[in-house]
Chain A
Amino acid sequence: MELKVENVSFSYNKKRQILKDVSLSVSSNSVVGLIGDSGSGKSTLCKIIAGYISNYKGSVTIDGEKIPDKDYYPVQLIFQHPEKTMNPKWKMKKVLNESWTPSQELKDTFGLKENWLNRWPSELSGGELQRFSIIRALNPKTKFIIADEISTMLDAVTQVQIWQSLINHCKANNIGILAVSHDIDLLNIICDDILYFKDINNL
């Protein structure tokens, strides 16, 4: 399968355009890196691809077809700050199972501890929460993962753990990844192909 972004343009207001004719494509079982400075509009592009923003020009398609917005969205965005993506009044068990019920094996792969499930989000660290938000996004209906600076706030040891588990799972299940980061060293290691944001954004 192929996720295709074609000629996407977007501006929050008339004065400042953020994206102009951006095109890229990600195929299943590949990891594509996207590098660019913060504040350059990478996150906006991520939100457009994952269906969070709809009033853009251009098209985002999977195998040439528009992505239906009614049901589970097959392109899932993982955010930089996992604590903001969790309802503070929910225990982690409910947070994890909101999207689907992951297998014990998958939980083990990501090093999820059983006693974390009875905690509130505020009681866990960013690294622990990010593991939850990744597993949540790995619903079998997910075809593509957009990872927007998912390890920027984490320490190097956790960064390796998270990326290895994520990439292994995605390769085995034919899920494509768009990895967005400002860290070229990281992308060099994890990606099959790297795009430079300033090259694809025709501003």
Chain B
Amino acid sequence: MEKLLEVKNLSISFTQYVQGLNRHDLRVISDLTIDVNSSEIVAVLGSSGSGKSLLAHSILGILPYNAHVTGEIKYNGKTLNQELKEELRGKEICLIPQSVNFLDPLMKVSEQAIGECKDDDEHKEKKIRQREIFDKYGLDESVDDMYPFELSGGMARKVLLSTALVGNPNLLIADEPTPGLDAKSVEETIQDIINLKKEGKGVLLITHEINVALKTADKIAIFYSGYVIEINKAENFNSADTVLHPYTKALINALPVNGFKFTDGVQPLEETLGCPYWENCPDRFDKCENHKPDLVNHDGIMIRCFKYEEADNGA
């Protein structure tokens, strides 16, 4: 197992105009640190609209121009700058998009999977590869000449996945691959993602559905108000006792299968001075109000909470 992707202290903010002429920086992702190894699935779990998709956009270098990024992203030990991102995307790093809306409606799916080629030889080579992959996912030759609107739901999903795999990437980023799918397709998607891992690929799964994360991932990172507050092993998420952060505990207890337990409080709208969960935290200290905890390693679990930092310091 080797480290494929290392994201260190990544912050993404947007410049926006508020009320007339004043510009204002809107922080969407703060101080995000996460690693993905080969043969590993890491899920980033957060409510939809929380900005976690921007992590994917940032790795692929497709953020809009008014985004401001700090921190470091490394791929295979090399720092990813914009040039390298452009070189690697589609080859080493691929995105599995959410829906067929991401495909060009006026282009045959096989051509989209093959993508841009320098000359005919490269095209031929890639064509063979594309056929292999499509075969593997049970898409016969008639699919090659179809346009996106002709695909059924299940086929579309397979096309999206195969398209991502034509370049034979080592790292796949799946951005919300399951919403809007029926139960059977969700199962298939989960199986497909697990199979990628068995082939030795690293997968970064971005989702808001905890069930999908639980069934596929090795590690799950919990995203709260722009911060990753806990990165824990997936099996620990089966019970609230084995996760550390108070919010994660609340989240696990709130699942319908775990009792649908009520916890008060909402995510803060604005950047807080202290811990983002301070307002709702049952275990808070005075310190939490004005100081932000760092993401620290506690027995192999990454946690952003003073409770555990204190315990470690005490010991």
Binding site for B on A (CB under 8 A): 37-40, 83, 111, 113, 115-116, 119, 123-128, 152-161, 163-164, 182-183, 185-186, 188-190
Contact = CB atoms under 8 A, between A and B. Distances in A.
B47 A158 contact: yes
Given A126-B49, A154-B47, A38 B208 contact: no
B266 A113 contact: yes
A160 B261 contact: yes
B269 interface: yes
Contacts of B202: none
A200 B49 CA distance: 34
A161 B252 CA distance: 14
Contact of A37 (B46, B182, B251, B255): B182
Nearest to B268: A113
A39 B153 contact: yes
A182 B50 CA distance: 23
Interface in B225-278: 247, 250-252, 254-257, 260-267, 269
A161 B253 CA distance: 12
B21 interface: no
Contacts of B180: 38-39
B232 to A, nearest CB: 16
A154 B265 CA distance: 14
Interface string B46-62: 11111000000000000
B256 A186 contact: yes
A156 B183 contact: no
Contact of A185 (B181, B256, B263): B256
Nearest to B255: A156
A7 B257 CA distance: 34
B165 to A, nearest CB: 25
Chain A interface secondary structure, helix, strand, loop or mixed? Answer: helix
A158 to B, nearest CB: 7
The 9 closest A-B pairs by CB, nearest first: A37-B182, A185-B256, A155-B47, A156-B254, A153-B48, A160-B254, A186-B256, A126-B49, A157-B254
Nearest to B210: A156
Contact of B179 (A111, A152, A160): A152
Interface in B161-207: 179-184
Contacts, number: 82
B256 A125 contact: no
Interface in B277-303: none
Contacts of B47: 125-127, 153-155, 158
A40 B252 CA distance: 30
Contact of A126 (B48, B254, B265): B48
B264 A111 contact: yes
A127 B266 contact: yes
Which residue of A125, A152, A186, A190 has the most chain B CB atoms within 10 A of its CB atom? A125
A194 to B, nearest CB: 13
Interface in B17-62: 46-50
Contact of B208 (A153, A164, A183, A190): A153
Which residue of A127, A156, A164 has the most chain B CB atoms within 10 A of its CB atom? A156
Which residue of B47, B183, B210 has the most chain A CB atoms within 10 A of its CB atom? B47
Contact of A157 (B50, B250, B269): B250
A154 B184 CA distance: 22
Given A155-B47, A157-B250, A38 B182 contact: yes
Contacts of B251: 155-157
Contacts of A125: 47, 49-50, 267
Nearest to B18: A123
A124 B269 contact: yes
A186 B259 CA distance: 10
A153 B209 CA distance: 8
A111 B256 contact: no
Contact of B256 (A113, A123, A152, A189): A189
Nearest to A153: B48
A10 to B, nearest CB: 20
A116 B269 contact: yes
Given A126-B47, A126-B49, A128-B269, 9 more contacts: A39-B182, A119-B269, A125-B47, A126-B48, A153-B48, A157-B263, A183-B256, A186-B256, A190-B260
Nearest to A119: B269
Contacts of B254: 156-157, 159-160
A157 B259 CA distance: 12
A113 B180 CA distance: 31
A39 B186 CA distance: 14
A124 B218 CA distance: 32
B50 to A, nearest CB: 7
Contacts of A190: 260
A46 B267 CA distance: 31
Given A111-B264, A113-B266, A155 B46 contact: yes
